Amino acid sequence: MRVLVDLNRCLSYGQCVFAAPSVFRFHGAESLEYDYAPGRALAEEVRHAAAACPVQAITYAEEPSGE
Amino acid sequence: MSSPAAPGRVVIVGASLAGLRAAETLRREGFRGELTLIGDEPHEPYDRPPLSKQVLAGRASPAHTALVRAPDLEATWLLGEPAAALDPHTRTVTLAGGREIGYDRLLIATGTRARPWPAAEEAALDGVFTLRGRDDAERLRAALAAGPRRVLVIGGGFTGSEIASVCRELGLPVTLAERGPAPLSGALGAAAGSVAARMQRAHGVDLRANTTVMALEGDGSGRLRAAYLSDGDVVEVDVAVVALGAVRNTEWLAGSGLAADARGVVCDAACRAFDADAVVTDDVYVAGDVARWPHPHYDGLLLAVEHWDNAVRQAETAAANLLREPPAPLRPHRGLPAFWSYQFGVNIKSVGLPTIADEVVVTQGAVADGRFVAAYGRQGRTVAAVAVDSPRWLPAYAGFVAANLPFPPDLHASDAPDPLRPVPAGLALDDRATHSPTAAVTGDGPTASDRSTHRDPRSPLTAPPL
Ligand SMILES: Cc1cc2nc3c(=O)[nH]c(=O)nc-3n(C[C@H](O)[C@H](O)[C@H](O)COP(=O)(O)OP(=O)(O)OC[C@H]3O[C@@H](n4cnc5c(N)ncnc54)[C@H](O)[C@@H]3O)c2cc1C
Ligand code: SF4
């Protein structure tokens, strides 16, 4: 799947890191880094992370199936 | 030229962040016609910010930066071939290979590319790089992974500084040459730049401020060997990264009759392109890094903003306006410029336009603690703020800037220095920095001629060494 965080909107609250630690992590004290292309098995975690983000900075989607 | 109430065919030139976000907005707003995206890169739209950060550091693959995109876009993607010409009268885009694509409404989102090193033979040396796209990142990453003796970064703007930061993370010796008084000084001023300078030195960067790279030298087999600096030093390097800012991709619009030149394509606040007679068009729109527009918050001066956030929001506004049927009102694109960066372990975020400021003051936290907010003022009004490792404070400042509140802002924050000490921001430095600021005022109205002569980045501030 695909993940994208609007890092302008992100205020580094870290809820996503708790919800999906294998996708989101902090690099330094306040800078969020994440995996743009996590495996499907992580979809549930990513969904939780997106729902937990207090500023709704996280979007995700399935891989496009070719247009 | 009358425009059909509902366009049947929309063409977007530039298939990156702004182009993709515009396409998604069109569909979300109910556009059911033909949608075509034309992009010269062979890749589907991907995100650029990680390229100078985690991708270069080897924590993410360049191939794993594709942008999330709506599953039901139903667009025709013409990738790998640039648009070479536009005829707004016949409403035709011509691709480099000669194919013609007709449109009812067009969005120009061709962005920018890296400014090349001015000496072509030196730029062609093995070991000299620029960084704008995925393929650039792939090549530079391989060169860094090979363990060069020393890396030279030419230009201390955001991208150059991020690259130097990654080099230190990888344990590589790095020299950064910046013509201005400090890194980031072109975008944030010399006062804030001095903080960046200390940070770079503390991380082991061999920082050469007030210094230009005058020449790059190769060995017999065309490999970069050394760089000649204006301070008289000769540095032995295997890798040089040219980070001198960006050039707008507008050449393909030559002869189109639009107000397009090296500074960008001029549009109004509703994202409608101007033609060269300063008449606004109603079928050609502009968004992202390539656009210049009169920002209502900045006395109508034409702004050019090379920021992720601007590309997204301008694209959304352009797409909504492109579909609007009169008498529905046009939406203005008026959000404040906003930016983030990550380097040397700290998060830097800014809002507003620091480049127009005359003063700057630390309003919260302390520079010595590595966590602070600085507010920027121009003639007694707050025009921008920069937060270092304190992103949660910034939204309040966006409110101050939007409301034109007095400078220094009166925060009553418990962590505010007492008294506040405003100092000159150090931005009126006559274009001394090597790198162009990524958000800047770019002159007057659509027909004002292009007097911006970009200085040769090699020219030293004072006299060259003997
Ligand atoms: C290394 C790097 C790091 C960055 N880091 C940050 C950051 O931390 N924070 C931040 O806010 N911003 C950052 N940015 C800036 C941000 O990525 C840009 O503002 C954003 O990409 C602009 O999107 P755009 O779609 O307007 O232009 P672009 O992304 O430049 O896309 C334009 C597209 O059009 C294509 N094109 C050009 N000419 C033609 C033609 N004639 N025909 C067809 N296609 C054409 C180009 O190849 C490109 O694919 C960074 C940029 C780079 C390069
Ligand atoms: S939860 Fe949202 S705001 Fe917090 S770090 Fe994650 S993306 Fe950023």
Which of B322, B355, B370 marks a domain boundary? B322
- pLDDT, tens digit, 9 for 90 and up, residues A6-17: 999 999 999 999
Same-domain pairing of B119 and B211: yes
Same-domain pairing of B127 and B228: yes
| Domains recognised in chain A with CATH numbers | 2-61 (3.30.70.20)
Q: Is residue B454 part of a domain?
A: no
Q: Is residue B147 part of a domain?
A: yes
**Which pLDDT does position B1 carry in this prediction?**
36
Q: Is residue B333 part of a domain?
A: no
Residues in CB range of B420: below 8 A, 6 or more apart: B361, B362, B363, B408
- Record: contact A8-B70, CB cut-off 8 A: no
E strand or H helix at A44? helix A43-52
Separation CA A7–CA A58 (nearest Å):
9
- pLDDT, tens digit, 9 for 90 and up, residues B395-412: 999 999 999 999 999 888
* Residue nearest atom 9 of ligand 1, based on CA coordinates: B340
Question: Among partner residues B59, B69, B392, which is closest to A33 by beta-carbon distance?
Answer: B59
Q: Is residue B232 part of a domain?
A: yes
Same-domain pairing of B282 and B169: no
- Record: contact A37-B75, CB cut-off 8 A: no
Q: Is residue B328 part of a domain?
A: no
**Which pLDDT does position B350 carry in this prediction?**
97
**Which pLDDT does position B455 carry in this prediction?**
76
* CA A31 to ligand 2 centroid distance, Å: 10
The DSSP letter of residue A24 is E
Interface predicted TM-score (ipTM) of this complex, two decimals = 0.95
**Which pLDDT does position A37 carry in this prediction?**
96
Same-domain pairing of B121 and B235: yes
* CA B48 to ligand 1 centroid distance, Å: 7
Same-domain pairing of B105 and B119: no
Is A47 close to ligand 2, i.e. is its CB under 6 Å away? no
**Which pLDDT does position B410 carry in this prediction?**
83
**Which pLDDT does position B436 carry in this prediction?**
64
**Which pLDDT does position B460 carry in this prediction?**
79
Which of B245, B265, B295 marks a domain boundary? B245
For residue B215, give both structure tokens.
Answer: 């020449």
CB B248 within 8 A of CB B290: yes
Is B355 close to ligand 1, i.e. is its CB under 6 Å away? no
Residues of chain B with pLDDT under 70: 1-5, 428-437, 450-454
Same-domain pairing of B26 and B170: no
Q: Is residue B463 part of a domain?
A: no
Average pLDDT of chain A to the nearest whole number: 93
Residues in CB range of B193: below 8 A, 6 or more apart: B180, B181, B182, B183, B184, B185, B426
**Which pLDDT does position B4 carry in this prediction?**
43
Q: Is residue B189 part of a domain?
A: yes
Question: Among partner residues B47, B75, B340, which is closest to A36 by beta-carbon distance?
Answer: B47
Same-domain pairing of B152 and B100: no
Q: What domain range includes position B181? A: 115-245
Same-domain pairing of B301 and B229: no
Separation CA B324–CA B421 (nearest Å):
49
Q: Is residue B296 part of a domain?
A: yes
Window A:15-44, CB contacts with B under 8 Å: 27-31, 33, 35-37
- Residue B428, chain A, CB below 8 Å: the answer is no
- Record: contact B392-A37, CB cut-off 8 A: no
Q: What is the mean pLDDT of residues A26-47?
A: 95
3-state secondary structure of A39: coil
Same-domain pairing of B176 and B192: yes
- Residue B428: give its domain's CATH number: 3.30.390.30
Separation CA B301–CA B443 (nearest Å):
6
Residues on chain B touching A59 (C-beta within 8 angstroms): 68
- Record: contact B391-A10, CB cut-off 8 A: yes
> Which residues partner with B332 through β-bridges?
none
Which of B195, B223, B245 marks a domain boundary? B245
Same-domain pairing of B186 and B221: yes
User: What percent of chain A is helix, strand and coil (3-state, nearest 5)?
Assistant: 25, 25, 50
Chain A closest-CA separation from residue B165 CA (Å): 12
**Which pLDDT does position B428 carry in this prediction?**
66
Cα-based distances in Å from B418 to B84, B92, B225, B375, B376: 58, 62, 51, 15, 17
How many domains does chain B contain in total? 3
Q: pTM (2 decimals)?
A: 0.95
Same-domain pairing of B103 and B129: no
Separation CA B193–CA B201 (nearest Å):
12
* Residue nearest atom 3 of ligand 2, based on CA coordinates: A10
Q: Which residue of B has its CA nearest to A27?
A: B345
- Record: contact A11-B65, CB cut-off 8 A: no
Same-domain pairing of B120 and B241: yes
- The DSSP bridge pattern shows strands B272-274 and B280-286 to be antiparallel
- Record: contact B67-A65, CB cut-off 8 A: no
Separation CA B72–CA B83 (nearest Å):
25
